[in-house]
Amino acid sequence: MASNSTIFKAALQISDMDRQYYHDHTLTLARHPSETDERMMVRLLAFTLHAHESLAFGRGLSTEDEPDLWLKDLTGAIDLWVEVGLREGKHLRQACGKAKQVYLYTYGGRGADQWWEKNRSDLARLTNLTIINLPPDGSRALAQLAQSSMQLQCTIQEGQIWMADGQNTVHIELGAVKKGTSLSKH
């Protein structure tokens, strides 16, 4: 965690009916000085979608050899590697070699669409890679929920996501631009 990072606290209540996962998490998120509220909240959404008692945040943007989130088994093998943003193909190929499953959450509208068109042929052969594109209005609305101390409730049902802070509710429907082979659902 960089010394200039801004610390955010989140009390997150998850009701994931698709995975039958109902749990509360108390999280500390370090937002790197170059990271936006939008990106940080997409990281939090990714945590919510893969929530598990052993899921952990990586050390941050300045650490190239760690993902935004990861889940390791008891032997230290990486079951799940989660990235946020528009990553280079080389980085994703390396991640796919290290982990059983890799997820990339893109956002940003047209920029994300252009990134996918440029990288589609290179990434198509990575069978354990799933790429999810967030709609721009959804990721921007998530950014509006960012507070230094957050109380959030998230409900997931039939691929629909509702994230609420008690006053505002954000509804997001994710679109998979590439589905990887699923070994197990995290």
> What would the pLDDT profile of 18-34 be if each residue is shown by its tens digit?
999 999 999 999 998 88
Domain 6-178, architecture per CATH: Roll (3.10)
Higher per-residue pLDDT: 63 or 2: 63
> What would the pLDDT profile of 81-101 be if each residue is shown by its tens digit?
999 999 999 999 999 999 999
Burial 151-170 (b: 16+ CB within 10 A, else e): ebbbbbeeeebebbbeeeeb
| pLDDT range class, residue 126, cuts 50, 70, 90 | very high
Residue spans per domain, the chain: 6-178
Nearest CA-CA partner of 58 in 48, 68, 49: 68
CA 144, CA 147: separation in Å to the nearest integer?
8
For the whole model, what pTM was predicted? 0.92
CA 121, CA 130: separation in Å to the nearest integer?
14
pLDDT at 61: 64
- In this structure, what are the phi and psi dihedrals at residue 155, rounded to the nearest 5 degrees? -120, 130
Mean pLDDT of 59-70: 80
